[in-house]
Amino acid sequence: MNTPATEGLPGAVGSRPLPRSWRAVRLSDVCEESIPTRDPRDSPTDSFRYVDITSVSNVSKRIVSPKTVLGKDAPSRARQVIRTGDVLVATTRPNLNAVALVPTELDGEIASTGFCVLRAKSGLDPRYLFGFVQMGETVRNLSELVKGALYPAVTDAQVRAQWLPLPELSEQRRIVDVLAEQMTAVERARAAAEAQLKAAKALPAAYLRMVFESATAQAWPRRTLAEVSEIAGGIQKSPDRVPVRLHRPYLTVRNVQRGCLDLSEVERFEVTLAEIERLRLLSGDILVVEGNGSIDQIGRNAMFVADGQEWIHQNHVIRVRLDGAAARPEFVSCFLNCDLGRAQMVKKAETTSGLYTLSAGKVASLEVPVPSLGEQESILSVLGERMGEVERLIEQAGEQLAAMDSLQAALLRRAFSGEL
């Protein structure tokens, strides 16, 4: 008789019955009851390797950056003594699936209590256990336990209460060997797609260099933005801006990315009629970020396109409204986002204190190339075609990566339902 359908195994393999020789067990039945602990502070001058949540990649499912710490500096969470083959399951935000198999070189080291450490007993192959905690159904089942919670974390007991479909040890090893071979092929395909994605994302900068660092570009006349545009700051965020009666969507530094606006999260702020009249954004306005913690992000900018609403912007975002008779906003935005434009902004942004920040005055002093409008239009047409191709390449690589995720999920599902 078959084991009852796996709908009795929350988060396991759906409603498919298990093979005859398999049984359903809780993780607590096949993993050691407790994990030894020690306080590294008892040996203050001895160093140890510490695995915390940040040490584990939830993409590669590996421990990628364990820290070397002196005993006297040990965090209060540094307590669990780990062994080769232990499976670490991060209990915070289980939906991220930060899990890892402890390698030989970390045997006897210390892990954070932010992990549930699963140590397989003699009848369970640790690699089989490691595959199980990566399975989509397992992740979803743990995630359901924290839905709506203020602090999204599960307990060790909740992890150890999960049902595991378990064949004999020899079958576990066969499944793991087959699965490893198939996963290796998936990872090779994933690496190729990631390389394609990286190459595609590098193309826009290369295309901009071809335009703005060409011999032709050296001969273009240059003018300051003050000469060809109107520049304005925005509205400062304050408690009295809470939306009440007259409020408008409000673009912040977070919304202005390099070359595009991210409108996934938009705030609304209370304004006056005078402010709307003075600061209302128009199609073609270039929005420039005043400052950022990363020097690479200084002056990143994007062009605004009207959508029928009245939009305003934050004081840390500088508005550049070009004189249409002198320059196309798309052309100037491309220049400001190219290497030459960015280098100029970084130089202007540097302060005596070593920080980097732009101001309306500094933006006004930026020099931009202004070839004829006809030449700008011709360049934008070519760039538009090339950027469209880049978007297609990025979309294609994204689809390939999504397919790899689906294939990996399908392989894991087959492995733990006895179909592999």
Percent above pLDDT 70 for the chain: 95
Q: What is the pLDDT of residue 240?
A: 87
Give the model's confidence band at 56: pLDDT under 50 very low, under 70 low, under 90 confident, else very high. Answer: very high
Instruction: Give yes or no for residue 59 having a pLDDT over 70.
Output: yes
Mean pLDDT for 67-87 is: 97
Mean pLDDT for 350-355 is: 73
DSSP 263-311: -SS-EEEE--HHHHHHH---TT-EEEE-B-SSGGGTT-EEE----SS--
Question: Ramachandran region of residue 241, left (φ > 0), alpha (ψ -120 to 50) or beta?
Answer: alpha
Tokens for 410? Answer: 């399908």
Q: What is the pLDDT of residue 147?
A: 81
Q: How many helices (H) and strands (E) does the chain have?
A: 12, 20
Q: What span, in angstroms and rounded, lies between the C-alpha atoms of 165 and 13?
A: 8
Question: Which has the minimum average pLDDT: 1-15, 97-111, 333-347?
Answer: 1-15
∠ CA 291-297-303, nearest 5°, is 85
* Residue among 397, 374, 392, 289 at smallest CA distance from 328: 374
The CA-based diameter of the chain, rounded to the nearest angstrom, is 85
Instruction: Give yes or no for residue 226 having a pLDDT over 50.
Output: yes
Give the model's confidence band at 293: pLDDT under 50 very low, under 70 low, under 90 confident, else very high. Answer: low
Q: Using an 8 Å Cβ cutoff, are 49 and 66 in contact?
A: yes
Q: What is the pLDDT of residue 14?
A: 53
Instruction: Give yes or no for residue 295 having a pLDDT over 90.
Output: no
Q: 373-415 vs 136-145: helix axis angle to the nearest 10? A: 90
Q: What is the pLDDT of residue 148?
A: 76
Contacts of 395 (CB under 8 A, 6+ apart): none
Q: Using an 8 Å Cβ cutoff, are 39 and 191 in contact?
A: no
Instruction: Give yes or no for residue 292 having a pLDDT over 80.
Output: no
Give the model's confidence band at 352: pLDDT under 50 very low, under 70 low, under 90 confident, else very high. Answer: low
How is the chain split among helix, strand and coil, in percent rounded to 5? 45, 20, 35
Instruction: Give yes or no for residue 164 having a pLDDT over 50.
Output: yes
Q: 329-337 vs 169-212: helix axis angle to the nearest 10? A: 120
Q: What domains can be seen in the chain, in order of their start residue?
A: 6-167 (3.90.220.20), 221-370 (3.90.220.20)
Q: 126-134 vs 373-415: helix axis angle to the nearest 10? A: 130
Mean pLDDT for 209-213 is: 96
Give the model's confidence band at 15: pLDDT under 50 very low, under 70 low, under 90 confident, else very high. Answer: low
Q: What span, in angstroms and rounded, lies between the C-alpha atoms of 236 and 313?
A: 9
pLDDT tens digits along 363-394: 999 999 999 999 999 999 999 999 999 999 99
* Residue among 178, 164, 217 at smallest CA distance from 338: 217
